[in-house]
Amino acid sequence: MPVAVGALLVVGTVALTGLLLRMPLDDLSYATTMSGTPGTFSAKHCHGVRSGRVTSLTCTGTFVAEDGRLTDHSAELTDAPPDRDEPITVQRRPDGSYIQPLVFRVALDLTAVFGIVGAAAMMLVIVRALSSRDTVPARVPGRSRPKVRGPVPILLALLAIGCWAAAVLSFAIAIATVFFRF
């Protein structure tokens, strides 16, 4: 494989990682109250909204900011939890929508990011291994064919294994948050 193609693939993987890391950072900023206006949402009316096979609960009600400076009597929360009798802690986004800050969402986003980056790194290792085979004519004995060596394939394989381990850990944290209600 030419060096330029390999470098392009590595740069593409790094760019993909950067783009994908925006997913958990958005949810993390709301879960840690670094973004949005924290407050409580009290539901008055809820109805199910069907999208394909999934039905989510959408509620309308009142949002009251923690500092008391904002009250929205026409607030709408999508994907509301089923127990709507008690006020729910939410964050008001700058666009006026509401989100329930959950560690579960952050952990699932991290699971997806680590899984995708691990798969991309492993695909680079496989592309490198397959491309090194085609550079030698078929009549040359196997022992004299070039092997996939060097630090880049090894580092990419370690990156893939590390990302998959982090994905499993993130998924375990997501499951733990469901059972322990973080």
3-state SS, 24-42, equals HHHHHHHHCCCCCEEEEEE
In the numeric block, the tokens 């986004």 are attached to 93
Is pTM beyond 0.75? Reply is no
Q: What is the pLDDT of residue 145?
A: 53
Q: What is the pLDDT of residue 138?
A: 60
In order along its 182 residues, the chain shows pLDDT tens digits of 556 666 676 677 777 777 776 767 766 676 666 677 888 898 888 888 887 787 778 888 999 988 888 888 888 888 777 766 788 888 888 888 887 777 787 888 888 888 888 888 888 888 777 766 555 556 656 555 555 566 777 888 888 999 999 999 999 988 888 788 65
Q: List Cβ neighbours of 153 (8 Å cut-off, separation of 6 or more).
A: 124, 125, 128, 129
**C-alpha of 50 from chain center:** 24
Sign of CA dihedral 182, 39, 58, 35: negative
Q: What is the pLDDT of residue 92?
A: 85
**How many residues make up the chain in this entry?**
182
User: In 3-state terms, the chain is what percent helix, strand and coil (to 5)?
Assistant: 50, 25, 25
Q: Burial-class residue 55 by CB neighbours within 10 Å (0-12, 13-18, 19+).
A: exposed
Q: What is the pLDDT of residue 166?
A: 93
